[in-house]
Each structure stands twice: as structure tokens, then as C-alpha cells.
Amino acid sequence: MEDIIIIGGGPAGLTAAIYVQRAGKQCLIIEAGAYGGQIVSTPNVVNYPGIKSFSGADFALELYNQAKDFGAKFKSAKVVGIDLDGDIKIVKTNSGNFEAKAVIIATGASSRPLGLENENHFLGKGVSYCATCDGAFYKGKDVAVVGGGNAAIDDALYLADICNKVYLIHRRNEFRAVETAVQTLKSKSNVEFILEANVTAIEGDKSLEKIEVTKTNGEKLTLEISGLFVAVGQVPSNNAFANIIKLDKFGYVVAGEDCKTDVPGIFVAGDCRTKTLRQLVTAEGDGAVSAIQAVSYLK
């Protein structure tokens, strides 16, 4: 039996592991995919306090190695649920069950799709949810970005430097992104803003060829593009826990800054919990808080 099981190996989970191990307890991190979370796909992080800029992939590797050096254990498996046996938490995975006295859920969130017909069909053939991952395939071509938050603006800025033309499509007339980034994007001569509009159709033969955009006034536009980059928010990965802890209507774990769920001994950290700001620094902050809370619970 482990002292603490951490579900998820992103910045929140890895930070929690460091704090758990330093507190003299043993933790097991269970991760279904690659360690590091979404930050791995960010080529240049420039808003982390105290460090001017760094590669997300390099940062994730250092965080992983730091947790490992402190003695954290790792298991590659997909968590499918949690059962309770008194005070014992049974974490069920596709590779068997694991028991612990406390659990920290740090599953993060994934990109939200537009929900359009053909979206899945063209995934990897024109549709992408990661500009830094796939942008190089569209060098010198015309592309579009959908969204109005920091991720969408950052994607458009990245693509503007390598693509011929970038359309930014946003359903509102105002942006949720940092104003300085928006102004920088507006200064790019190859970027065109299409506001108060939504993508309503994705078309093509073997790969994406064009999209239909419908404005709020009913006007329809057809854009001939090779790539469509979707950045319209995230979906939390908490379905496996819906029967045991409280989730809000969007699927996020209900918890405050103390990272406590409504079940004693189960804590939450990072993008998968209810919060106002989802950034690297807040994920790591949650990781530290949830670890200390979990260690305190054990004592």
C-alpha cells in the first residue's frame, strides 16, 4: 500500500510528488500518457516568474527527474475509477488496482473540440489542437485559428511567423487573452481577424480544403485554408471519478484553494479543479498545497 497515489503526471502531479517525498511520505504517480502534461507542447514559456523563458519540454523533463530523484514511484496505466474501503482508497486501472491512504487527482484537461461534422475525420489531415506541434506542416500555407483566449492568440502569433496567411476566428468582439499579446497579433500584416463569428462547417476531400464561417448577423464566408487550429478551451478528464466526488456542471472537481474534495483523503490539483486561472504557476501551486494537505491528512 502507498501513502499517497497521485493520478496524473503533469506539472501539478509532479510538483505534488516532490512535496510528498520531501515530507517523508511515499507516493506513486499513475499516468496514462506522457509525463509533463500540456506544457510539453509549448516551445517557449515566457510568463513563468523568475525565469525569462524556457522550453516547456525541457521544463517537464527537469520536473520529472526532480520527482524521481526524491524517490517518487511511477506507473504507466489508465485510471478508470476509485473505490473506498473504509479509509483506504482503491485506485482502479487497466493494469490492476492500487491502494493508498490518500489520493491526489491531477488529471488536467484536454482540448475542447468544436463539435462539427468531419472534425474527427480531418484530425491530423488539416484539423489540429496544437499549433506548436503541427504548425510546421503548414509552413507557407493559409490557416485559421479559432478562439479568443491566451492559447488562441499564442497559436496565431506562432503561426503568423511561418504561415502565409492566418485567420483568427472568434465568436465575440472582445478577447480574454492578455492585451499586449492581442496588440502584437494585430500588428502582424498577414493576420486577419474575423470576429463575432463561428466555424460552422469543415470541408475537403482527402484533407481539409475549406471552412464555412457564419457571422452573428447571418453572413456566411468561405475560407480556403490548409489548416484549422482549434483553441476554444479545455475539457477536464474527471469522468472516472463522477460517482465518488463532486463535479461541477462542466466536469471540474469542486474544490477551493485548499484542494480538498468533498471526500476525506481525496484531494485535487491543477487544471482539473474549479478555479479562475489555469496556468503553469497555478498548477504547481495546487500541487504543493494538495501534497501538504494530503500529508497532514495522513498524520
- d(Cα 120, Cα 12) in Å, to the nearest integer? 29
Catalytic annotation, pick one of 3, 27, 134, 154: 134
Whether 134 sits among the annotated catalytic residues: the reply is yes
* CA dihedral for 99, 104, 105, 106, sign (positive or negative): negative
Q: Is 60 helix (H, G, I), strand (E, B) or coil?
A: helix
Catalytic annotation, pick one of 3, 27, 58, 133: 133
Whether 259 sits among the annotated catalytic residues: the reply is no
- d(Cα 152, Cα 144) in Å, to the nearest integer? 10
Q: Which amino acid is at 146?
A: V
Catalytic annotation, pick one of 3, 69, 85, 130: 130
Element (H, E) at 271: none
The DSSP result for 121-136, as a single string, is: TTBTTTEES-HHHHGG
- d(Cα 253, Cα 118) in Å, to the nearest integer? 31
- d(Cα 72, Cα 8) in Å, to the nearest integer? 13
Which among 104, 93, 111 has a CA at the least distance from the CA of 289?
Answer: 104
Whether 272 sits among the annotated catalytic residues: the reply is no
User: 114 and 278 in contact (C-beta within 8 Å)?
Assistant: no
- Counting beta carbons within 10 angstroms of the beta carbon of residue 201, is it exposed (0 to 12), middle (13 to 18) or buried (19 or more)? middle
- Counting beta carbons within 10 angstroms of the beta carbon of residue 151, is it exposed (0 to 12), middle (13 to 18) or buried (19 or more)? buried
> What's phi and psi for 80, nearest 5 deg?
-115, -5
User: 53 and 46 in contact (C-beta within 8 Å)?
Assistant: yes
Which among 47, 63, 82, 103 has a CA at the least distance from the CA of 295?
Answer: 103
Q: Looking at the annotation, which residues are catalytic?
A: 130, 133-134
